[in-house]
Amino acid sequence: MVSISTFIRWYFFELDHRTNLILACISTVVITSSILFFRRLYAHFDKTMPYDSGIVRRLILQIVIMFIFVSIISQGILYATTHFFKIAKVNYLVKYEFTQLAKIAGYMTQALFVILLNVAHFTYYSLQKWRESALRASNLEKEKSQVQFDNLKNQLNPHFLFNSLTSLDSLIQENPPLARDFLQQLSKVFRYVLKNKEKGLVSLETELTFIKHYVSLLKTRFGESLQVAYVIADDTLDLQITPVTLQILIENAIKHNIINENNPLTIHIKSEGNTLIIENNIQRKKQVETSNGQGLINLRTLYNFLSNRGIVINTDEDVFSVKIPLI
């Protein structure tokens, strides 16, 4: 901005310390004021004439305004330097040649400075918009996954509810005491879902308490054909997990595998460090109930947002396993 006056001051004229100090102060004030002015101006343009509405038009307008502004300020400082301060005179030829060269060099420097500054501003603006768009997309994807997962929690599988009520009906006639116990377990299961449906995370200890009630209900239907074993380290009980994660995984194992006295299904739930591992033996059904695998997909998507480790699913000939990060 002050390229002409600075060049004159330092190269052609010998100014005293006081004059140099005054000019330095004036330059500082001018530059600071200019920065504040253009910040406000560009903020106004962002609202009234965003780049999205016309990049070329916006850039040209900014460059023209800034170039005129910089030229006026530079000429003002040049005038102040040569007229208001007592400086040594130079001969006419040198003065004339310098003036012409300085004007050309000054305008070229100012034009380059203005263009680069506006390109830098556009780059910064574009980067900020890209970050905002990426953040919005990420939040929308997270909200979508959370809604889908909440739907899974709210469903708690209608087939499970139907089967539970059918079992309860049989127990009421055959074994009333067991029916009462069954009903208590069922109420605990649904109380847990209602209580934690708004929560993103619960402690592993809380989830395990729920899943034991849930397994008790399943065993009323499957008896000893369904076995669930727990090996959980005490120091992991306070770590967190998304509610009904284990219910979804156990239901998935039941849906895809044969369960009877000759082919019992065994599910192992164990902790390893800050990871929870759920394993079951594979004995696939020939025909599986309608399933699109959405439960596991939603679960995986949700944990990708909650943890940088995510869910790991492994399948070999005999064992299906899912590793859940504890948070």
In whole angstroms, what is the distance from residue 207 CA to residue 160 CA? 18
Whether 243 and 283 share a structural domain:
yes
Whether 102 and 247 share a structural domain:
no
Q: Is residue 150 part of a domain?
A: no
- The pLDDT value recorded for residue 211 is 93
Rg (CA), the chain: 37
Q: Is residue 223 part of a domain?
A: yes
Q: Is residue 149 part of a domain?
A: no
Q: Is residue 148 part of a domain?
A: no
Q: Which domain holds residue 16?
A: 3-143
Q: Which residues pair with 266 in a beta bridge?
A: 227
pTM: 0.57
CATH code at 301? 3.30.565.10
In whole angstroms, what is the distance from residue 307 CA to residue 325 CA? 7
Identify the DSSP state of 288. P
Residues ≥6 apart with Cβ < 8 Å to 217: 160, 164, 167, 182, 185, 186, 189
Kindly give the confidence (pLDDT) of every residue in the chain, 327 residues in length, as a single tens digit, with 9 standing for 90 and above: 444 445 444 444 455 566 667 667 777 777 777 778 888 888 888 888 887 778 888 888 888 888 888 778 777 766 766 666 544 444 444 444 555 666 677 678 778 888 888 888 888 888 888 888 888 877 777 776 666 666 655 555 565 667 677 777 777 877 888 888 888 888 888 888 778 767 778 999 999 999 998 898 888 888 899 999 999 999 999 999 988 899 889 988 998 899 999 999 999 999 999 999 999 999 988 877 655 566 687 788 778 877 888 899 999 989 999 999 998
Given 94, 121, 143, which residue is the final one in a domain? Answer: 143
Identify which of 227, 236, 183, 186 has the alpha carbon closest to the alpha carbon of residue 208. Answer: 236
Whether 170 and 309 share a structural domain:
yes
Given 85, 109, 143, which residue is the final one in a domain? Answer: 143
Whether 128 and 198 share a structural domain:
no
Given 108, 143, 178, which residue is the final one in a domain? Answer: 143
